Structure 1
Amino acid sequence: MDFLVNIDVDDLDAALSFYTRAFELRAGRRFGADGVELLGGPAPIYLLVKPAGSAATPQVRDRRDYRRHWTPVHLDWVVHDLDAALARAVAVGARVEKAPATHAWGRIALLADPFGHGFCLLQFLGRGYDEICDA
């Protein structure tokens, strides 16, 4: 089974600039003014233009809001050099919400993109999550 990642944004050009520069992705197919496919990771990412204030479905009362918001689903970007990835992401508009911390399994920094979506940068150390995994 494959999966796709969709990220709602209100400004396609700004999102394309952020995601290609912060994570070294490249644009694939364009879908007119409504979206663009990003390639270079383990799964394609689709930036989809959805206006602020719009609803996902008629049944959803909450409206899209591109200020910082919380969602139980977010992306963790696994990187080889957390400090370099953090500097690159911040340089193109990410906001650090928690500075890098070191754990038995590796390092993590918590950030938000310019569209209010939270994400983490992870750098595994040693055996990664196996360092804390019960046999």
Structure 2
Amino acid sequence: MEFLVNLDVDNLDKAIQFYETSFGLTVGRRFGVSGAEMLGSSAPIYLLVKAEGTPAANATAQRRTYERHWTPIHLDFVVEDIESAVRRAVSVGARLEEPVATQKWGRLALMADPFGNGFCFVQFLGRGYDEIAD
């Protein structure tokens, strides 16, 4: 099975700049003004232009908004140096939502991109999640 990530954005050029600068991704392909494929992660990330205020899906009355919003799914980006990753992302529009926290398994930064999507930076320490696995 192949895994793809799709993110709705309202400004493709701004999104490309953000994901290039924050995560070191590169544009694989552009799909005119409606989308771009970002490569360099373990799964391709597709940035899809969807206008603010349009229906999120036919089965809901929710409308797209690019203010900070909650979803039960978010992306975690594993990094070697969490402070540098946070600084780089903030410099192009991300928000650090809580100070970097250190756990037994590693360090975590709760973030939001400029399009309201939550994501985290994770820097594993020691044996990573194996530090807390049964």
- Regarding TM over 0.5, the answer is yes
Match of 1:65 in 2: 65
The residue matched to 1:111 in structure 2 has which SS?
strand
TM-score normalised according to structure 1 size? 0.97
The residue matched to 1:99 in structure 2 has which SS?
coil
* Deviation of the 1:25 alpha carbon: 0.3
Q: Could you tell me the percent identity over the aligned residues? A: 62
Match of 1:112 in 2: 112
* Deviation of the 1:60 alpha carbon: 1.8
* Deviation of the 1:57 alpha carbon: 2.7
Structure 2, gaps ≥5 residues long: none
User: Between Structure 1 and Structure 2, how many residues are aligned?
Assistant: 134
1:1-135 matches, cutoff 5 A:
1-134=1-134
The residue matched to 1:71 in structure 2 has which SS?
coil
How many angstroms apart in 2 are the aligned matches of 1:3 and 1:93?
A: 27
Letter in 1 for 2:102: T
Structure 1, gaps ≥5 residues long: none
How many angstroms apart in 1 are the aligned matches of 2:30 and 2:15?
A: 13
RMSD: 0.7
4+ residue stretches of structure 1 with deviation over 4 A?
A: none
